[in-house]
Structure formats: structure tokens, C-alpha cells
Amino acid sequence: MNELKIAAIFGLILAAASAIAVTMGALLLQFLAPGDQAVAWRSVVVALGGVGVALSLICLLHVALVFAGLITSSAETRRVQAWLGRWAAVAGGDPLPVAVSPGEQRAASQAAALILQDMSGEAAARIRNAVQACGLIAADMARAESRRGLGQGERVAALERLAWLAAPAALPLFKRAVLSANPRTVRAGVLGASRTLAGANELGETGIQVLACLQAYADATFTAGHRPFLSAALAGAGKHTVWLCAELLTRSLPDAMWAAALDALGTSHPESAAQTVTAALKGGLEGETLAAALRALAQLGTVPSEALEAVRAARLDRHDGVRVQAAHALVGAPQTVALGDLWELMADRTFDVRFAAAKALAACGAAGAHELRRAAASHPDPFARDMAAMLQRDLDGPAAARPEDSREATGLTALTAATARA
């Protein structure tokens, strides 16, 4: 519809421009030639009237095409909603649809992709089996690979549906997609590979193909700006996220890609995620990847004993961001170690690190709160005392202001009263 609308509007604009050019040329000849100028002015009026008619036709065509698009979109939305209900019934145990007519294939596939975004387990498996049995996977693959009769937007939309459907048959298509110059196509390829791995019971050939897809992505189109998306996509690998990230961390990849894998591990809950991060830390990370590993441990809420030395060393790193993440990670370390290290970090030269250390102390329970109060009263660094006092007031509430704050408030009240009397 978009291509038709643009072509029609530009056709009318070209026709109007041609008519205006011819008319203006004729007017110029009439003005230059001897004769009655009134004829020329009448011609100007006629020409301007023709321009107005042309512009009106362009507006009418545009409005008509917009309304046609809205009507088509509304009808498509109703079909998708109807299929959402049918797929929900299939997930609940109803019989699988026998066949889907060609006119309903796109709506049925879109509805299945939508419902699978928030569904997993046996219900999701039933829908995927039904989609495969109805021929919707094959139909979308044909659309995604089509080079004739479909616009790029429709081909990419078909690829995105395949990504949410997590179709193993589409893995070769996903691998080609990550080499595309179209960012939307690349994202669909990466997401499809990760979600396909999530739906696999056994890694086997599927795992090999997904790794090959991500390696091709790293070699061809990955940039540091893709890191947040890649992290979310890797987390979408479900129960295989830890395995996938561990494999990526053994490969020679850009630092931002390693950082994305570590970010994804931070959102995982199996105990093996912390062990995988620990193995990466012991391998000698630095800069961006070291900060990502520390942030992952902070999110997991634990520091394995094998990682404790690396976490403690990171609090002395030359990069401010690494020291910030070390402070957050120390919350998960044994308190006999964490409290002393955080006390030292409270005197860091950088505000962000001092603030992170104070927040980390506040997160260490009763012992941390006690150290925070002690720091507010007696830390040798004045900036550390100020930071601890600020966090202490936030924890205790406005009623627990420092004595000097009360004295300042009392003095200000007395001064105000004296001024009023004067």
C-alpha cells in the first residue's frame, strides 16, 4: 500500500508540474509578444486554477489511500484477534487446526508470534507444533526469501514472525539475515537464533548452528551499539543461556560482545551462571568486560570464593566504572571482607565510587547500616563522612537528622525570630 500511494502521488505531482511548466512557457511568450496583455492575465488565472485543481486531486488521492490503508489495517487486526483466540484454545488443549487458507496465513502467523512472546512450556510447544503442521512456517519462509512480488517490509515482517515462532527450519535464513545491511533484518536474525535455541530440548546441531549464526554476526555487522539488544537476545535463549554465553566467552569476539554475554548471565538464575562469570574473571578481564562481569555478580547477588580475589582487586582498578561495579559486587561477598573494602571505597577520589560504596554498605543489612553510621561520625575522609551522612538520612528518614543539622535549624529559627522582632 505504501509503494502504491507514493507512486500515485508522485505521478500526479509530475503531471501537475508538466502542465504548469507548459502553461508558464506559453504565458512568457504571450507577455513578450506584442498584443493585448489582458489575454495573458486571463491565461494566468486559468493556469493558477489548473494548479489548484491538481493540488486538490493530490490531496483527495492521499486521503483516499490513507482511508483504504486504515480499512485494510482494521480488517487485518480483526483477523489477528480472531486467531489469538484460536491459538489460546489450542494452548489449552483444543484440537489443532487442520489447515489455514492462504488469505488467513499472515494473520494466523502474526497471532501465533504474538502469543508466543509471553508463553512457554507445553502450551507453547503445542502452538509451535500446530503452526508447523498448518504450513505457516513454510509460508513465512517463502515470504522472507521472496525477491518478487513482495516489498522489503513484508519480507522482514515474515522473518520477524519466524523469529518469534522459533522455527529450527529457519536457522539458515537467520544466519543469512545477520549479514544484511538492514538493521531490522539483522535483529530478527539474532533474535530468531536465540529463541530457536531456547525451544530446543537438546543442543546438538541446533546449538552448532546458533553459534555459527552469532559468529557470523560478530564478524559482519555487530557494533558496540548493539550490545543492549544482544544481551536481551542472549537472555532469550532460556535454559540454554548459560551454555551459549559460556561458549561465546571462549571465542575471540569484540569486547562489547563479551560484555553483552556477561550482561545476559547477570539476568540468569542458575548457580552455574556465577561459575561462568567467575571463569571469565579468572581469565583476566579488563575495562568494559571487567565492569560487565562485576555487574553480573552484583545482579546474581553472590561472589563465589574463587572470584573474591578478582573482585577485591577490581576496587583498585584505574577505571572509575570498574570500581563502581566492584562496590556493588562486594555486597555478595562475605561481610568480614566486604565491610572493610567498602569502608575504604568510601574515601575514593571519585564521587560515583563513593556513592556506590555507601549504597553497597546500606545493602549489607544491619552490619552495613552500622558501618554507615560509624562512617558518618568518624570516617577519616571528610567526603566519606558527608556521603555516609547523606545515605544515612535517606535510610533513617527526615526524623534522624544529624545533631549539627538540628543546631543549624535552631540557629536559623532564632535568627528569623530576631529579625521579625527588629
- Is a pLDDT exceeding 60 seen at residue 81? yes
| Contact criterion met (CB below 8 Å) for 262 and 293 | yes
The C-alpha atoms of residue 314 and residue 327 are separated, in whole angstroms, by 9
- Percent of the chain residues topping a pLDDT of 70: 73
CB neighbourhood size of 97 (10 A): 18
> Considering the domain boundaries, does residue 213 fall inside one?
yes
What 3-state DSSP class applies to 253? coil
Rounded to whole angstroms, how far apart are CA atoms 166 and 195?
A: 5
pLDDT class of 414 with cuts at 50, 70, 90: very low
Hey, what's the cell of 46? 486559468
Model pLDDT for residues 253-275, shown as the tens digit of each residue: 999 999 999 999 998 877 789 99
Domain count, the chain: 1
Residue 230 within a domain = yes
Range of the domain at 197: 152-258
Q: Which pLDDT does position 146 carry in this prediction? A: 75
What distances in angstroms separate CA 81 from CA 75, 164, 214, one per listed residue? 10, 17, 34
Q: Which of 346, 362, 351, 367 is nearest to 396 (CA)?
A: 362
Q: How many whole angstroms separate alpha carbon 86 and alpha carbon 414? A: 75
In-domain check, residue 197: yes
Give me the mean pLDDT over the 51-74 stretch. Answer: 62
Q: Is residue 59 part of a domain?
A: no
User: What is the residue type of 77?
Assistant: T
Query: Average of pLDDT values for 307-325?
Result: 93
At residue 230's C-alpha, the angle toward residues 228 and 235, to 5°, is: 100
The region of weakest confidence among 113-117, 194-198, 235-239 is 113-117
Position 348 scores a pLDDT of: 92
Q: What is the pTM of this model?
A: 0.73
Q: Which residue has the higher pLDDT, 117 or 263?
A: 263
pLDDT at 64: 64
Question: Which pLDDT does position 400 carry in this prediction?
Answer: 44
Q: How far apart are the first and last CA of the chain?
A: 80
Asked, for residue 107, whether it belongs to a domain, the answer is no
Confidence band (pLDDT; 50, 70, 90) for 415? very low
Q: Which of 114, 108, 115 is nearest to 132 (CA)?
A: 108
| pLDDT higher than threshold 90 for residue 17 | no
d(CA 214, CA 236): 14
- pLDDT(84) > 60: yes
Q: Is residue 102 part of a domain?
A: no
Residue scoring higher pLDDT (28 or 84): 84
> Are residues 311 and 296 in contact, defined by beta-carbon separation less than 8 angstroms?
no
Higher pLDDT, 307 or 199: 307
**Domain contains 253:** yes
Residue 417: is its pLDDT beyond 50?
no
Q: Residue 221 domain-assigned? A: yes
Least confident of 21-30, 32-41, 241-250, 388-397: 32-41
Q: Report the Cα 264 to chain-centroid distance in Å.
A: 13
H helix and E strand count, the chain: 21, 0
